[in-house]
Amino acid sequence: MQHLWAGRRALRSGKAIARRGDRSFLLVLVILLGALGWTRPASAYAWMIRHDYGGCGMCHADPSGGSLLTQYGRAQGEILLRTHYTHRSEDEDPGTIGDFLFGVPLPESVLLGGDIRAMSLVVKPQGGPSFSKNILMQADLQGQVSFDRVRVNGSLGYAHDGAFPASVTHGNGDRLISRVYWIGADLGEDRQFLLRAGRMNLPFGIRSIEHTMWVRSATRTDTNAAQEDGAALSYTGEKLRGEIMAFIGNYQIHPDALRERGYSGFLEYLAVDRLALGVSSLVAHTNVDLTLGTPLWRHAHGVFMRYSPIPAIALLAESDLLLTSQPPASNHLGNASMIQVDLEPIQGVHVIGTGEVFDPAWSRTPPSYALWGSLAWFLLPHVDVRLDAIWQSNASAAARSNADVFLAQIHAYL
């Protein structure tokens, strides 16, 4: 509870700073808080559609993608993701180096994994002092045990900065966190359905590692700490996949008035090879919104696309209509959109360009913009690095502030 009220006090302080005109400091604070939560597991790559993978359930325990890898997913990571320094064919046996702990044998019914990620952050706001920080973003263990058609899945990790809504222990420093824990049953003759209950990622839009993008933060569907407790049903077919979840709130926060309740879901259709089109929808209500301090209804309804015209290029796009309603009279329409181009000139080396636009309320504020230039390299088994240069132009009703953000990340998974 302490960290939640601390967050409320920080938000109120930020508003007071803005009123005093120190917008550069506020911009640094906003970007830093977002970066401190940048703890996304690196195993959700929507651009895998370039390899004719329209769905996610073959490679991930979560049918909508991300986090814990299946044995098949580990093999594909070794074959398709990382750079090979000698010639290797795609049908060659990947060996055991991609397995858990580089080759520890596990029973077929057991999946284990872990992620360690560190980041160096530099923020340079326009007209203000620069800020830098080194952050341990992620230190998580994940696992799943299956009993015929029944699965038990969960994660446990450590956090010092960020990820407060995922906290198991309280405090503003060292904490245990758990992002997901659920029990599920595979249904259908071909196990094409999965019915789950527990704490899970909200199914919505493109599940990507850049969870601080506005399409993820504005819809509150990132995989850092935005998970909710509830029940979900997913379907994975040859051309069609989707998931719908009814959620009753995050039971790792208190009191109950802060918890959101509603639904979230998506449906994606593989129209032709390497072209997937999808729609998403979310409606949620809370009696006391953590940011606004009032009752809030919020909607997010959008479309998204994943397309690879040739294997070297993958295009991702998403646009979401946002509606927030603070009864009795305050209603606002807005939008969050992004488009991303991923070029893989050499296997394992990705040159990425991303453009974003965000307007939370069309009638009140001009839009904000962001441009990303990124380089990611899967250089070794279980190891990848990434560099991001981000220019952000954040608008309000009163003014616009620009900032340059530089990120260097290293990730290793067990």
Torsion angle of C-alpha atoms 359, 361, 366, 371, degrees rounded to 10: -10
pLDDT at 396: 66
For residue range 67-106, list pLDDT tens digits in order.
Answer: 889 898 888 888 888 999 887 666 677 788 889 999 899 9
Indicate the domain borders of the chain: 2-97+119-135+197-413
Say how far apart CA 42 and CA 172 lie, in whole Å. 25
pLDDT over 60 at 246, yes or no: yes
CB count, 10 Å around CB of 91? 6
Give 101's DSSP letter: G
Say how far apart CA 311 and CA 314 lie, in whole Å. 7
Q: Which CATH class is domain 2-97+119-135+197-413?
A: mainly beta
For residue range 124-162, list pLDDT tens digits in order.
Answer: 988 788 889 998 888 999 999 999 999 999 999 998 887
Top pLDDT among 398 and 238 is at 238
**For residues 180-201, average pLDDT:** 96
Contact yes or no for 376/386 (Cβ under 8 A): yes
Nearest alpha-carbon partner for 151 in 19, 60, 74: 60
Output the CA torsion sign for 246, 216, 312, 100: negative
pLDDT at 39: 41
pLDDT over 90 at 225, yes or no: no
Give 2's DSSP letter: H
Say how far apart CA 301 and CA 305 lie, in whole Å. 14
Give 365's DSSP letter: -
Contact yes or no for 320/342 (Cβ under 8 A): no
Top pLDDT among 66 and 200 is at 200
pLDDT at 184: 97
